[in-house]
Structure 1
């Protein structure tokens, strides 16, 4: 009986030891595995990942696959489902609205330099040269429409109701329009083409770049609130992960800013970069 008890005890210890070794191996394997996927919409932010972020991640031992998306829906769906580990394509306002509407819990890690909206024209050479009754194409969605009106106010072309919520202003909040500008709301993706058919067009930076427009050709570029600058986002469950910390460290680095200055001319930098 004592011999049987000893055998059972030894077996239990052996099994416990094996289980411990397997757990340690799995833990070591989990820590060693740095295969990740990052998502972005095709264009400047995919380029920003590949030129300014991915090389630094690879130096830290990550193996990175960049996934390009053609719309603004799938990058967050993929992030929420765990198909990708982080994404870069959206500003804070869009992220927060998307979370609410789709019952997701995502987290913005850090704001990055972003292509600003600009006022473009083939009719006028300067803001001062804009004539009475000029037609201006603006985005027909509320978020980008508000951005266009804020640019016009910054340039002295309209005045907006000071009581209106800044990020939600619309045409009905225009209190003064001294040049009697005529607003023509259209879908944001069509605004680069509208430069040909209207006197002025307020074109979001990503659509301007997609149409091979030079940001510096704009008559004026927006003084973009940080809420409209794009962010690196992860799922809320991963905001304290090693990857999240590494992404923040990379974006805050001098090397990252140097790539922005060289490769992304005209992009507006977030407030933290000026500190």
Structure 2
């Protein structure tokens, strides 16, 4: 009888220890992460992480690291592999296309202010003074070219097809070119150099900033749809975790917008910020 009672006692103790261990694991999950590992392409969005996002998360008690990438492939692969917890470098069209092509479970958290495409020139002071037959440097990749065509149409320099595919856009999508502009296609990163050799150039905001250009000096800046604005992305399985909710909360804060206004002049704000 004594042995039976001792056996029952050991079983009960084991059950209680198991239950305590289970509770501890649940509490750890509920408390979230202590460190958030961001990834961003070098330039303005890496700066946005270090200057605007990280300090506010650190006020919440997180340690924040930021890994810089020099291409548009590795940040999503690193996120999917768990090497980083969140990234900031891409717009919706790229994210949706990339995750479908590579079969990745990634989701956006929130859209951030984004450096817009701009028309720049050392020859003309405004869009109205652009002359017949002027040469225009444009990006040779479909996504950035689609944005360029929209800017040119908004400024009434061209008319484009109603069904431009942002993943397959080409100069053939131009239906009317009243000033007979001549287009010079180059890699987007080379466009700042074309401002000296061509009459004007359409330069994506990140490359303009990397070249030390002032966004506010553009002849025109794009009124980009939110689909073209960059966003924070995480693994889909993490979307409801506390650290992701905290990322979203700090980006929605007045402190974040103040830093954007002071440090990121010329960046276009997403609809949710304009509606505040």
TM-score scaled to structure 2, two decimals? 0.95
Deviation at 1:168, TM superposition (A): 5.5
SS in 1 for 2:128: coil
Kept in 1: contact 2:32–2:242 (CA 8 A)? no
CA contact (8 A) 1:114 1:269 kept: yes
The answer to whether residue 12 in structure 2 is matched with residue 13 in structure 1 is: yes
From the superposition, tell whether residues 33 and 174 of structure 1 become closer, same or farther in structure 2 (CA, over 3 Å): closer
Tell me by how many angstroms 1:165 deviates: 4.9
Which residue does 2:234 correspond to in 1?
Answer: 234
Number of residue pairs aligned between Structure 1 and Structure 2:
274
Cα separation, partners in 2 of 1:71 and 1:93, compared to 1, 3 Å: same
- 1:142 maps onto 2:142 in alignment: yes
Hey, what's the Cα distance between the residues in 2 that align with 1:87 and 1:201? 29
Per the TM alignment, residue 67 of structure 1 is displaced from its structure 2 partner at its CA by 1.2
User: C-alpha displacement at 1:29, in angstroms?
Assistant: 4.1
Q: Secondary structure at the match of 1:40?
A: strand
Q: Aligned residue for 2:83?
A: 83
Give the distance between the partners of 1:14 and 1:69, measured in 2 at CA: 51
1:82-116: CA deviation from partner (whole Å, max 9, x where unpaired): 11111111111110111011110100111110000
Distance 1:101 1:136 in 2: 32
Distance 2:4 2:68 in 1: 61
Distance of aligned partners of 1:166 and 1:84 in 2 relative to their CA distance in 1, 3 Å threshold? closer
List alignment gaps of at least 5 residues for structure 1. Answer: none
Give the aligned partner of residue 197 of structure 1: 197
Q: Please identify, of 105-114 and 51-60, the stretch whose mean Cα deviation from structure 2 is larger.
A: 51-60
Q: Cα RMSD between the aligned structures?
A: 1.5
Residues 208-251 of structure 1: CA deviation (Å, up to 9, x unaligned): 10111111111111111111100011011111111121111111
Of stretches 9-18 and 28-37 in structure 1, the one that deviates more from structure 2 is 28-37
**Contact conserved, 2:136 with 2:200, CA < 8 A, in 1?**
yes
Deviation track 1:167-218 (CA, whole Å, cap 9, x = no partner) reads 7543212111111001111111111111111111110000010111111111
CA contact under 8 A between 1:57 and 1:246: conserved in structure 2? yes
The SS at the match of 1:128 is helix
Q: Confirm or deny: 8 A CA contact 1:158 1:175 kept in the other structure.
A: yes
Deviation at 1:28, TM superposition (A): 3.6
Pair 33,184 (structure 1): closer, same or farther in 2 beyond 3 Å: closer
Match of 2:37 in 1: 37
- Given that residues 157 and 177 in structure 1 are in contact (C-alpha distance below 8 angstroms), is that contact kept between their aligned partners in structure 2? yes
> What residue in structure 1 maps to residue 116 of structure 2?
116
Partner Cα separation in structure 2 for residue 25 and residue 32 of structure 1? 13
SS at match of 2:129: coil
The answer to whether the 8 Å contact 1:86/1:234 transfers is: yes
Q: Tell me: CA distance 1:21–1:87, structure 2 relative to 1, closer, same or farther (3 Å).
A: same
Which ranges in structure 2 are unaligned for 5 or more consecutive residues? none
Q: Secondary structure at the match of 2:127?
A: coil
CA gap of 1:47–1:164, structure 2 versus 1, over 3 A, is closer
SS of match in other structure, 2:233: strand
